Amino acid sequence: MDEPREPSLQQRREQSEDVGRNRTDNPTLGDLIAARFGRRAWLKGALAVTAIGASLGPLALAAARQAKAATPSFDFDEVAATVDENHHVAPGYQANLLIRWGDPVLPGAPAFDPMNQTAAAQAQQFGYNNDFIGYFPLNGAADRGLLCVNHEYTNEELMFPGMGGPQEEDAKFARLTKELAAVEMMAHGGSVVEIAQAGGAWQVVQDSRYARRITAETPMLLTGPAAGHARLQTKADPNGTKVLGMLNNCGGGTTPWGTWLSAEENFHGYFWGELAEDHPEHANFKRYGVPANWYNWGAYHDRFDVAKEPNEANRFGWMVEIDPMDPTATPKKRTALGRFKHEGGETFLNRDGRVVVYMGDDERFDYIYRFVTAKAYDPDNRAANLDLLDEGTLAVAKFSEDGSLEWLPLVHGEGPLTEANGFKSQADVLIATRLAADLLGATKMDRPEDVQANPKTGKVYAMLTNNTKRTAEQVDPANPRPENAFGHIVEMTPPDADHAAANYTWEILVQCGDPAIAEVRAMWNPATSQDGWFGMPDNCAIDRQGRLWIATDGNSPKGTGRADGIWALETEGAARGTAKRFFQVPVGAEMCGPQFTPDGQTMFVAVQHPGEEDAEGNPGSFENPPTRWPDFDPAMPVRPAVVVITKAGGGAIA
């Protein structure tokens, strides 16, 4: 029998998300799954249910064969689903290291010295836990561009000597000195690096004029309807417009005008202290889980202490827009896009020229959001687009049993969003977006992660990663499995590809997990192989042919018998619902990115927190990691890194 173990800090963080902060009683729609699948998924024949409907499989297959493939199928041989110390890519492809935690970013940055880390060095080096990757071609070149990478969080037990092993949280914090906390703060944020292809291989361009590090102390502006509001004012910033840093930037997106959207996710973890009953933001902070005391920065910086600086936490949880082309441009927190645990911010250029941003709020029972700009994008005037995201309409999704989806606008004065309910202005609606969405009756989802529109088909894909806390009484058609350990993917279709429309339709594309275990109730196309199925979809990308690629977070030897990685998933024609395994991360890592170059010949992926745990689930440490990827040097700790995947001999991926 396994010995009971102290949970790792990461596990504590995960458990802290179990609070279930959405305590509203938005109506669940009852167990209508059978009826729903009967009418919609089955008769359309596009999806076969392998587990619950083995006997119906041939029926679905026959119907599916009649469908025409709208996009070419993925042409690669799968990599075997296993787990070990290294990464693996499908045969015929190469996966090379591009940049690691500690590598120089700014000109003159010192070499990585793991035993003598300083905040000053880290501020010039590539940060920790690379997540979203944005790629921006330079001067239209196919072989030169800027890579913008989020650094979501830090693992002190893997970064610093003497922090691992079972111990009381207080003891760990006692060893996290002010200098180490400062290293952590500099390892957060993001990096901009110039990269170029030479002799077929991508490399970081040293001493680039675009090189930039963004950290937990980089000055930023709050812009849009909530900027300057009293609830955003602090002692250091009485005007409520200037913030230091961005925190827990997870997913993101790119805009048609070439800026980087970086999404602040679990910001609550950085706030410190006890939330007093008479705290002015008590209800708001409770709904967001502030403070969660994951980091001890509040011991050294009063702004992270909710008692000493009651409004600082209102200045995090936003979508940050950064112009990578101008290293001196101040990042802007776009308050019009709402405040929640933003997973990503993928954009879609609507046919009327307005820009649409799709966003997930990654917590159990939280919501999917959409923002539509008020004004249209001007392809001939970049400057005119740079503040487009300050004006527009934020809306939250309500899924109905009949397969319709309604976008409910979060507009002050409309419906329940009035002073009587605590919303005196649009700023109040945006600062407490979750409370406003609760009142509108939005559908509580199974942890919405990336939400991505496919420019070829106009369909939108929402990754719902898992929700083991959903009970049988809480299932609804869009979240049909209780104790949903493996997640699912919802496909949303706007009418006539109008992404500003108030009403869409929706389908479940796949229900993840092992199709061989009936109780899991997985739904895949039966053509999916034993290596091809996955759990816990997280980030995703669409390739230039309009095909869906998915990165996962949470597969493990004990859970799904496989490491995280990249899977390709068919969405059209007879193959719809077929998944294929393309890339595998080293043990303990999750997979982030992915991002393609516009020519489809390069895929960038981010290997995040490698070595965080071993194949048995035991936490790794600086001294004793389960892998020393990517250096495999006993003098080097395990390091998060960006990997670049290309086809051997060149050509489009798959």
Binding site for ligand FEO (CB under 6 A): 152, 250, 265, 343, 362, 449
Residue 215's binding partner out of ligand FEO, Ca ion, none, with CB under 5 to 8 Å set by partner kind? none
Q: CA dist 439 to 15, 401, 443, Å?
A: 26, 20, 11
Tokens linked to 639: 């390091």
Cβ-based nearer residue to ligand FEO, 250 or 643: 250
Cβ-based nearer residue to ligand FEO, 362 or 428: 362
Cβ-based nearer residue to Ca ion, 133 or 222: 133
What's the min distance (Å) between Cβ of 14 and ligand FEO? Answer: 11
The stretch near Ca ion (CB under 5 A) out of 58-66, 241-249, 531-539, 631-639 is 531-539
**Amino acid identity of 242?**
K
What's the min distance (Å) between Cβ of 343 and ligand FEO? Answer: 5
**Amino acid identity of 378?**
D
The yes or no reply on residue 450 touching Ca ion (CB under 5 A) is yes
Q: CA dist 396 to 229, 347, 368, 458, 492, Å?
A: 23, 16, 6, 19, 13
Cβ-based nearer residue to ligand FEO, 386 or 540: 540
What's the min distance (Å) between Cβ of 341 and ligand FEO? Answer: 7
The stretch near Ca ion (CB under 5 A) out of 155-163, 175-183, 249-257, 312-320 is 249-257
Element (H, E) at 59: helix 57-66
Cβ-based nearer residue to Ca ion, 392 or 593: 593
Residue 195 pairs in a beta bridge with 145, 204
Residue 157's binding partner out of ligand FEO, Ca ion, none, with CB under 5 to 8 Å set by partner kind? none
CA 591 to mean position of chain CA atoms: 10
Cβ-based nearer residue to Ca ion, 51 or 653: 653
The yes or no reply on residue 564 touching Ca ion (CB under 5 A) is no
Element (H, E) at 304: none
The yes or no reply on residue 156 touching Ca ion (CB under 5 A) is no
Name the one residue in this structure whose structure tokens are 């539509």. Answer: 372
Cβ-based nearer residue to Ca ion, 71 or 208: 71
Residue 450's binding partner out of Ca ion, ligand FEO, none, with CB under 5 to 8 Å set by partner kind? Ca ion
Measured at CB, which residue is nearest to ligand FEO? 250
Query: Hey, is 338 helix, strand or coil?
Result: coil
What's the min distance (Å) between Cβ of 427 and ligand FEO? Answer: 26
The stretch near Ca ion (CB under 5 A) out of 3-11, 112-120, 245-253, 272-280 is 245-253
Query: Hey, is 646 helix, strand or coil?
Result: strand
Give the C-alpha separation, 303 to 600, whole Å: 44
Cβ-based nearer residue to ligand FEO, 164 or 554: 554
Give the C-alpha separation, 571 to 281, whole Å: 44
Residue 154's binding partner out of Ca ion, ligand FEO, none, with CB under 5 to 8 Å set by partner kind? none
Cβ-based nearer residue to ligand FEO, 449 or 570: 449
Query: Which of 264, 538, 543, 613 touches Ca ion by CB under 5 A?
Result: 538
Give the C-alpha separation, 624 to 602, whole Å: 34
What's the min distance (Å) between Cβ of 446 and ligand FEO? Answer: 12
What's the min distance (Å) between Cβ of 593 and Ca ion? Answer: 8
Give the C-alpha separation, 19 to 23, whole Å: 10
What's the min distance (Å) between Cβ of 560 and ligand FEO? Answer: 18
CA 210 to mean position of chain CA atoms: 25
Do 449 and 537 touch, CB atoms closer than 8 A?
Answer: yes
The backbone torsions φ and ψ at residue 506, rounded to the nearest 5 degrees and listed phi first, read -150, 160
User: What DSSP character marks residue 600?
Assistant: S
Question: Which string of b and e fits 100-136 if b means at least 16 CB within 10 Å?
Answer: bbbbbbbeebeebeeeebebebbbbbbbbbbbbbbbb
The yes or no reply on residue 152 touching Ca ion (CB under 5 A) is no
Burial class (CB in 10 A: 0-12, 13-18, 19+), 413: exposed
What's the min distance (Å) between Cβ of 456 and Ca ion? Answer: 15
User: What DSSP character marks residue 248?
Assistant: -
**How far apart, in Å, do the first and last CA atoms of the chain sit?**
44
Do 394 and 430 touch, CB atoms closer than 8 A?
Answer: yes
What's the min distance (Å) between Cβ of 552 and ligand FEO? Answer: 11
Helical spans, DSSP H, in 81-194: 119-122, 156-159, 169-175, 178-187
What's the min distance (Å) between Cβ of 490 and ligand FEO? Answer: 16
What's the min distance (Å) between Cβ of 608 and ligand FEO? Answer: 9
Tell me the three-class secondary structure of 375-391, residue by residue.
EECCCCCHHHHCCHHHC
What's the min distance (Å) between Cβ of 152 and ligand FEO? Answer: 6
Tokens linked to 173: 């914090």
What's the min distance (Å) between Cβ of 538 and Ca ion? Answer: 4
The yes or no reply on residue 17 touching Ca ion (CB under 5 A) is no
| Dihedral Cα 406, 407, 411, 417, nearest 10 deg | 50
Cβ-based nearer residue to Ca ion, 134 or 225: 134
Nearest to residue 133, comparing CAs of 555, 643, 600? 643
Cβ-based nearer residue to Ca ion, 42 or 132: 132
Give the C-alpha separation, 452 to 535, whole Å: 18
**Amino acid identity of 377?**
Y
Q: Which residues contact 165 (CB under 8 A, 6 or more apart)?
A: 157, 621
* Farthest CA pair distance, the chain: 67
Residue 265's binding partner out of ligand FEO, Ca ion, none, with CB under 5 to 8 Å set by partner kind? ligand FEO
Name the one residue in this structure whose structure tokens are 């993928």. Answer: 346
Cβ-based nearer residue to ligand FEO, 119 or 359: 359
Cβ-based nearer residue to Ca ion, 358 or 423: 358
Cβ-based nearer residue to ligand FEO, 265 or 321: 265
What's the min distance (Å) between Cβ of 537 and ligand FEO? Answer: 11
Residue 152's binding partner out of ligand FEO, Ca ion, none, with CB under 5 to 8 Å set by partner kind? ligand FEO
Cβ-based nearer residue to ligand FEO, 362 or 543: 362
The yes or no reply on residue 366 touching Ca ion (CB under 5 A) is no
Give the C-alpha separation, 246 to 238, whole Å: 19
The stretch near Ca ion (CB under 5 A) out of 15-23, 181-189, 291-299, 450-458 is 450-458
The stretch near Ca ion (CB under 5 A) out of 101-109, 194-202, 408-416, 442-450 is 442-450
What's the min distance (Å) between Cβ of 132 and Ca ion? Answer: 7
**Amino acid identity of 87?**
H
Q: Tell me which residues touch Ca ion (CB under 5 A).
A: 250, 450, 452, 538
